[in-house]
Structure 1
């Protein structure tokens, strides 16, 4: 698997698929190297990962997506470990992410060493579980 920073040529791909980000934020996040594109060994895009900074000082993985045919084959784990290593190289000692309590992703993060660190309750929404991991 290849993991590369998204480029502006990935804009249409991301705009069509990532429905959890405002369209006008995609290009700025690309320019800030906050989106990675995940490609299989045939150089076909199989997903993406997007991050930001919680409290403007702690890396927070906002989104990881692997297209259905490529799931359960280790791509998500490789992408998260790659991101963690990138954050470690930048000098960060802690990373964060979250997922809804009704999503299977919570088990994925725990297997990768993330610890439950709190939750967020929004009206008419499942509980959002916050996770942290020391690098």
Structure 2
């Protein structure tokens, strides 16, 4: 493994800036009052399901950060865990994008199920990646 020196630190910082731009776009798409909740309502979801979806999107990530922090705190190298979390988030977004293209062919119940599956994977993998993200970012800024 590479030692963290000034050059690696600068490189990590540039990668974090690049990642933050895409994260901002993704966050706007996944916000609790934009596209996904609207799709849930259009598919016939009730206000109870919308509340559950909001709880997963907002509270699920925060709650599971505590769980994942206990696991990741003892790891010396966190880059592979960060990449795993990011790749799982990409998978969840691809699942939701595929869902948007196939809504005509799916029943409303399947659309709602896939929304919850995609949001759950997105939120939990975000919580998993965030623990490593904050640790690596903190080491990059000195």
- Same-fold call, TM cutoff 0.5: no
Give me the TM-score of the superposition, normalised by structure 1. Answer: 0.24
Give me the TM-score of the superposition, normalised by structure 2. Answer: 0.23
Higher Cα Rg, which structure:
2
More helix by share: 2
More strand by share: 1
Q: Which has the higher contact order (CA 8 A, sep 6+)?
A: 2
